[in-house]
Amino acid sequence: MHKFLIASFLFLTSALSAQPLNVKVRGKSAILYNPNNRTILFEKQAKEPHYPASVMKIATALFVLDQKGIDLEQRFKASSQALAVVQAEEKHADFLSFPPYVMEHDGVMIGVEEGKEYTLEALLHGALLASGNDASNVLAEGLGGSIENFMQEMNHFFQEKGFSQTRFQNPHGLHHPAQMTTAYDMARIAGLAFDNPTFCKIVMAPSHMT
């Protein structure tokens, strides 16, 4: 059984009654969802589009771990491109001038070093436990050949699974005007992620040494 609250998204995996709940939520969008029987126990504008923020790292990890024959010991070298950082104000003033995956100075980073190699397992821990944007970029570039290609494959993966209101532009969730999802889609994505034993093992780990 797993319970967690991320930003304005509510997700619950428990054996609750299917009766609708009458609760007050300040967030613009929220959902209380039981993935075991796909029951929506509460929703508030759950299918309205919103920016996902770092909660989308769950989607990145699900896409990675769903691939057959994935090798957690595979090593990837951190490139300067994957670790590129700009000032948030500069990026937000002109999104078209920067690739969607470029990080921001005030964003969360775990200290991935250019030229150093990291295992996929370490990068997943860095992305999921510490919300490291740098770890997300390096694993995306390593698995996809380029972050752009990784994102194309990732979006195709979720479109094939019926997530029609979700479109991701980068693997970490930093703001981009074209990056959208819904509370409903993210609740279902989280439900699928918790069906994966490797995902559960990573997010339940108290810590991880790179």
Domains and CATH numbers, the chain: 49-203 (3.40.710.10)
Q: What average pLDDT does the segment 15-40 reach?
A: 76
In this prediction, residue 69 carries a pLDDT of 82
| Chain mean pLDDT for the chain | 89
Of 190, 141, 185, residue with least CA distance to 167: 185
Q: Which two tokens stand for residue 54?
A: 């770092």
pLDDT at 3 over 80: no
d(CA 53, CA 35): 22
- Give the model confidence (pLDDT) of 74-132 as tens digits: 999 999 999 999 999 999 999 999 999 999 999 999 999 999 999 999 999 999 999 99
* Strand pairing class (117-119; 9-12): unpaired
Rounded Cα distance between 160 and 141, Å, is 22
| Residue tagged 């439900």 (tokens) | 191
pTM of the model as a whole: 0.87
| Three-state secondary structure readout of 63-97 | HHHHCCCCCCCCEEECCCCCCCEECHHHHHHCHHH
Provide the pLDDT for residue 208. 66
Of the two residues 137 and 69, the one the predictor is more confident about is: 137
Q: What would the pLDDT profile of 166-178 be if each residue is shown by its tens digit?
A: 999 999 999 999 9
Going 153 to 64 to 91 to 186, the CA torsion angle's sign is positive
- pLDDT at position 15 is 39
- Give the span between the Cα atoms of 52 and 66, in whole angstroms: 21
